[in-house]
Structure 1
Amino acid sequence: MNFTNKTVWITGASSGIGRSLALELSKQNTKLILSSRNEIELNKVKRECENSQNAKILLLDLENHNTMSSKVEEALLLFGTIDVLFNNGGISQRSLVKDTSIDVDKYIMNINYLGTVALTKAILPHFINKNNGHFVITTSIVGKIGTPLRSSYAASKHALHGFFDSLRAEVYQNNIKVTLACPGFVQTNVSLNALTGNGTPQNKMDGATKNGLTSETFVKLLIKAVKNEKQEVYIGGFKEKLGVYTKRFFPKLLSTMIRKMAVT
């Protein structure tokens, strides 16, 4: 596929991967709908985009599931159609299971999983009616491998894989594509904003995140995968990608490796 003159909706567009996606796609003469809860940051991203007149802002809170149908109606009024939805919004976690409130589990699942599902279901009739569309979902390597301190986050990302694998099979005849993108460590604010066991932000940058891929590098690889209509892609360092294949072929070995990980 080609992004030229396509209409692309990006959630989580105010920072990190979403911001880099917007900036990179703006170079490809793409019409952009930029969404998150932060209007101030969204306006900054819009101003940074090339051909910023082709970027529109639509405030969106993934926790408000019942508003998704009306948000899709608003989005369709902006450019008349939507070709690709990047489900990129979400929040992470840094806490042991024994220290994590069930309210934190619910909150993360409500945003990462149910918020993404609600928006997907709301836009799905549009894709079916035009017999074309592409869902791109930012999950995580921990959507394939659960690791310490990320139980709720890993659960929400695993759930996305199950849902979108099922959806892909259901809408194949409607020419609707699904790409699950699994980042490893990427240099964003994800660890700063990650929730601790009581629901407060960690406010600390993980060392692995700080040393990860730049969001610009990640996005270029992601866009290439989407253009090639990849069903699932792992984008990260050698060790992160190796972990996925070790889990597949040597699961007991990976379990041993994960147990020895530093809990930090």
Structure 2
Amino acid sequence: MNFPHQIVWITGASSGIGEALAYAFARAGATLVLSSRRADELERVRRACDRPDAHACVVLDLSRSQTFAGAVAEMLARFGRIDVLINNAGVSQRARALDTSSTVERAIMETDYFGPVALTKAVLPTMLEHHTGRVVVVSSVMGYVGTPGRSSYAAAKHALHGYFDSLRAELANTGVGVTLACPGYVRTAVSANALGPRGEKHGRMDATQQRGISPERCAAAIVRAVARGREEIAVGGWEVAGIYLKRFVPWLFSRIARRMKTP
């Protein structure tokens, strides 16, 4: 699994799965574009990567899509192309649907759905021009199922699946592929940073997150999927079984979901 001379752009690269992806792709020989809202943390990750001077950092807020064209133009001027775009950044939720403000619902959709779509549309023309490339979307098991306290998060992830499945079909025979990566529980700060009913942070790591797989294991699975041109993968522990329960025994999944704890 080598990516020599490949330009790989990773959003949400300052922590968690994105940080682990940065280290994994750098070890595989890729040249990285690292993005998140935190410039200092991006620099920390860049310096910790193999060949740190080869990589670039671009501060990017996925809720400000008007800045994407400039960022893409800057990176194309420096590197000439973008081979792999990994839409990894996102925000989760810990709130009941009836308690969640419309402002929070829109903020989640802006970051988790509209942002990745807009950045992909900004990058796609250069991939199509070169007749090669891959768009990777780090979705979630929640892209298949819905559980208590995740209504807007699940909605955004479901929307990503519909959009990027359609985009994959549209890109057939262009040389550009689409991969959906769907982690379950991963030991990151995603639950601590999740939004509550009024936009406040959840502020703690859930027990399920604490027992999840490591970011490094998740990143390794995603790198393998990209190298092999996979269309879709799910990675995690027992919770991944929920995808198949929902698909093949929906009544059983519904019964289990009703018993899950609501934030």
Given the two structures, how large is their TM-score scaled by the length of structure 1? 0.97
In the other structure, the counterpart of 1:59 is 59
Counterpart residue type for residue 106 of structure 2:
K
1:202, 1:243 → 2: CA distance?
Answer: 24
In the other structure, the counterpart of 2:17 is 17
In the other structure, the counterpart of 2:254 is 255
Q: Percent identity?
A: 46
User: Structure 1 segments of 4 or more deviating over 4 A?
Assistant: none
CA shift digits 1:34-77 (9 cap, x unpaired):
00110000000011001111111111110011221111111212
2:11, 2:261 → 1: CA distance?
Answer: 32
Is the contact made by 1:56 and 1:78 (CA closer than 8 Å) also made in structure 2?
no
Correspondence 1:200-219 to 2 at 5 A: 200-219=200-219
Matched, 1:46 2:36: no
CA shift digits 1:161-205 (9 cap, x unpaired):
000000000011211110000000001010110000010111111
TM-superposed CA distance for 1:78, in Å, is 2.4
Unaligned runs of 5+ in 2: none
Is the contact made by 1:30 and 1:54 (CA closer than 8 Å) also made in structure 2?
no
Between 1:85-94 and 1:69-78, the stretch displaced more is 69-78
Q: Cα RMSD (Å) of the superposition?
A: 1.0
Question: SS of 1:134's equivalent?
Answer: strand
In the other structure, the counterpart of 2:241 is 242
1:258, 1:4 → 2: CA distance?
Answer: 44
2:98, 2:92 → 1: CA distance?
Answer: 17
CA shift digits 1:106-153 (9 cap, x unpaired):
000011100000001111111111111100100000011011111111
Counterpart residue type for residue 204 of structure 1:
R
CA shift digits 1:229-249 (9 cap, x unpaired):
111100000x21211011111
Between 1:75-84 and 1:200-209, the stretch displaced more is 75-84
TM-superposed CA distance for 1:2, in Å, is 4.1
Unaligned runs of 5+ in 1: none
In the other structure, the counterpart of 2:228 is 228
Counterpart residue type for residue 64 of structure 1:
R
Question: SS of 1:263's equivalent?
Answer: coil
Counterpart residue type for residue 258 of structure 1:
A
Is the contact made by 1:36 and 1:89 (CA closer than 8 Å) also made in structure 2?
yes
Is the contact made by 2:9 and 2:85 (CA closer than 8 Å) also made in structure 1?
yes
In the other structure, the counterpart of 1:193 is 193
In the other structure, the counterpart of 1:4 is 4
In the other structure, the counterpart of 1:143 is 143
2:262, 2:235 → 1: CA distance?
Answer: 23
TM-superposed CA distance for 1:263, in Å, is 2.1
Counterpart residue type for residue 84 of structure 2:
V
Question: SS of 2:191's equivalent?
Answer: helix
Question: SS of 2:70's equivalent?
Answer: helix
Counterpart residue type for residue 117 of structure 2:
V
